[in-house]
Structure 1
Amino acid sequence: MINLSELDAEELVDARVAARLLGLSVRTVGDLAARRAIPLYKIGRGNRFKVSDIIEYREARKVH
């Protein structure tokens, strides 16, 4: 598992890392981005996700 404390909140990561942070499949992360549930950043031909956006998405779905 990736330790969030090792990542900068403004860092951009690929879908594979985003999926590991969320505990989801890479395909599901792609689906979330397609539905605009998680912001997507196009860098060249690749897609990237900001760590702070991933954390925000995860926290918004937290059950208390």
Structure 2
Amino acid sequence: MKQFKGFLQGTAVFLGSLALLFGAAFALNLERSWVYQLINAPLMLELSVLSALIVLLLWTGRQRSS
């Protein structure tokens, strides 16, 4: 059950960071179409994976220290 809860938390962090990055890209490129922004989605996906990994590393480091 603990592993499933961790998986859900990781998925939530990943989707949240992806939504945040997509929202930021949309806000910065309002003059461009949403199709153009979806073409740039692989870059945002990479950034969201990296941010999720950073959060995971910080989370596990905090868990080990306490």
Q: TM-score, structure 2 length as denominator?
A: 0.31
**Higher share in strand:** 1
**Higher share in helix:** 2
